[in-house]
Structure 1
């Protein structure tokens, strides 16, 4: 008797949802409305099947096809970019109207009170089950979309770091639903620290690791941070906290590979950079490195072989001495260049008497002759002596002359 009322009950339920849930007003018209009307009839029919089970049946276990359909509804809401609020409201409105219509028909048909009470119990259990199934489908779809989006963003990061064309980058950004910033700053850090760093950075930050062979081999990752310039750069370095990270320069987003290459080169120079006169980090505590602080080292080490040749030539006069004497004069020459010949400052830097500085400089002038007064030669000496360089000094590998 109740099944004969299903078409009318279904129509009333859909009409009530259109009025009670404005978000569905457009979706419940035309072909989509017919499909939903059929779905409502299916749900109501499954409910009556459940209500027809013996009293010993489990009222919380409706037929699986309807649960599967509810699960699919939840996934559809997630794919449409909607929360579960509208769907759950539709369930409540539909259940209220369906209960009103069916219970009226049941009373008119003479169904006894105990059976009507069980009928009401089943309505609540059924709608709870469908709601739970839809919420599970919604959560599963969101997780799947999140993984797909994350993978698309990883592929975008890989394209940015491997020199893809601007057209390819624009397409990859659209596929990843990623709004390009003005600039990107590459941050190179151990892979184990990447996920923790991401939580403190801009939500648009991209991450790359496994897709770049050289990163995977070295256990490193690259984070591409949007618009980290000026105050934003200072905030970036603070956000990196104790990470063993190197921050490249900010570059136009399509040129993020240039920022990555700079960060990679600075990381390779770390041993020589650590031996510079800059303030040293606290022992046992990592400190982010700003590549902007190491531009001179980068320029100086751009051609290591040329630097080695220049160093050998400019230090050749010292290579004729015994190592201990050569070390003292090398140290004095470096201080003389850095302090621009100011004897008192040189003596303070070397912790020696000014007369000792005068004596040593006399030795150096004998070895170098007019070179110490030639601006071009002084530039070469400054490049090779003024900075810190890896590797032994020439006189530690070549026997001194007679």
Structure 2
């Protein structure tokens, strides 16, 4: 809040006698009315708002402020000259806070002060000239009055800024709480209440993305302003690399490509779009994909979980997958390791290409006759199981992931 000593010390140089002060004070209701009329006419943010009881309240506040100024100039003997100014500055500070809560900008507030200062001085100057004050006294009166209004406006600006800072901190806390609840999968009624407290517009969907903390700011600058973020309790990436999570509103359908472009080159893992209250589903999928240690695309595109659904499905129970793999590969267990590995690769390719020998040969970079020879070995080892639908299903599932993924730990 402004220091009240400046105006009061200057006021010591100028004292009004009781007659002049009384005549000026009698004009305060007229001055206040004209001041408020000018503010509503010239400052768009106040147009149509200062009516009825609100207008009466503001006119009264203007009268009190100008009356305080006159009281400073009168300076009753034995009274601390700063005493009248302190409540005026407190009232101006409260006015600034109230304007911030009402949604009016500090620019609108300062514009109102400028208009008010001009009109108030015009009216007060006319009065001082009519009373017959010397020109030098009128000039000093003007200097003091504008200094006084500057102090009031500074106090109001401080109140406006402090209110916005307080509201901003509270909103950030509410947004952080909402983000935690979304990721934890809280019930929808809980999420709705938190969204209302945070003044967060509810989207249709949320898409979760996981990316290095160092890449977060750049991505946020390109995304919807209502994107939520979190970096607490997240798994670490590469050594020394912190991770962050984004919850991006309404990036479903064709807009998913736009999100992929924003995340290009940021080593992100991109989850599926989900109804906003089920964002935890997208979050869990992102974490599971990150756990699989799938290599990031070399072209800088984000790692899209929608393209790795089979790996995610098969990794749901890693021990079961390892047990299944051990069982279906049991016919190869007695072979040398190198031979077993070659036959396993051939069997996987045979399943993938539905027995097309040339495609298998191209996949394995071998001659078609080599494929024929290896498949002869496999048929001897597996017998009728290579034509049994259930056995083929087990083989397909067990060999869908490369060897080493899905091993029990």
TM-score above 0.5: yes
Deviation at 1:216, TM superposition (A): 9.1
How much does 1:235 deviate? 0.8
The separation in 2 between residues aligned to 1:373 and 1:216, in whole angstroms, is 46
Q: Note the alpha carbon deviations across 1:133-184, whole angstroms, 9 max, x for none.
A: 3233323322222222122111112122223222212111111112211111
Per the TM alignment, residue 26 of structure 1 is displaced from its structure 2 partner at its CA by 4.6
- The 3-state SS of whatever aligns with 1:320 is coil
Q: Contact between 1:14 and 1:28, CA under 8 Å: does it hold in 2? A: no
1:206 aligns with one of 225, 228, 236: 228
- Partner in structure 1 of residue 314 of structure 2: 300
How many angstroms apart in 1 are the aligned matches of 2:72 and 2:264?
Answer: 59
Pair 1:158 & 2:180 matched: yes
Alignment RMSD (CA, Å)? 2.9
Kindly indicate whether residue 86 of structure 2 is the aligned counterpart of residue 69 of structure 1: no
Contact 2:321 2:406 in 1 (8 A): no
How has the CA–CA distance of structure 1 residues 219 and 280 changed in structure 2, closer, same or farther, with 3 Å as cutoff? closer
Instruction: List aligned pairs for 1:260-299, cutoff 5 A.
Output: 260-269=283-292, 271=293, 273-274=294-295, 280-282=297-299, 287-299=301-313
Gaps of 5+ in 1: 54-61, 395-402
CA distance in 2, matches of 1:26, 1:389: 73
Provide, for residues 37-60 of structure 1, a one-character-per-residue CA deviation record: whole Å limited to 9, x for no partner: 44323322443466679xxxxxxx
Q: TM-score, normalised by structure 2?
A: 0.82
Cα pair 1:186 1:247 within 8 Å, conserved: yes
Q: Note the 1:318-357 alignment, pairs <5 A.
A: 318-357=332-371
3-state SS of 2:342 partner: helix
CA separation of 1:327 and 1:50: change in aligned 2, threshold 3 A: same
The CA deviation string for residues 302-321 of structure 1, in whole angstroms up to 9 with x for no partner, is 11111011000111122211
CA deviations 1:6-39 (Å, max 9, x no partner) are 5444322332244223326554533x55543443
Could you list the runs of 5+ residues in structure 2 that have no partner in the other structure? 1-18, 41-45, 76-83
Aligned residue pair count: 375
Partners of 2:134 and 2:311 lie apart in 1 by 92
Is this contact kept in 2: 1:51–1:122, CA < 8 A?
A: no
Structure-1-length-normalised TM-score: 0.83
* C-alpha contact (below 8 Å) 2:386/2:392 kept by paired residues: yes
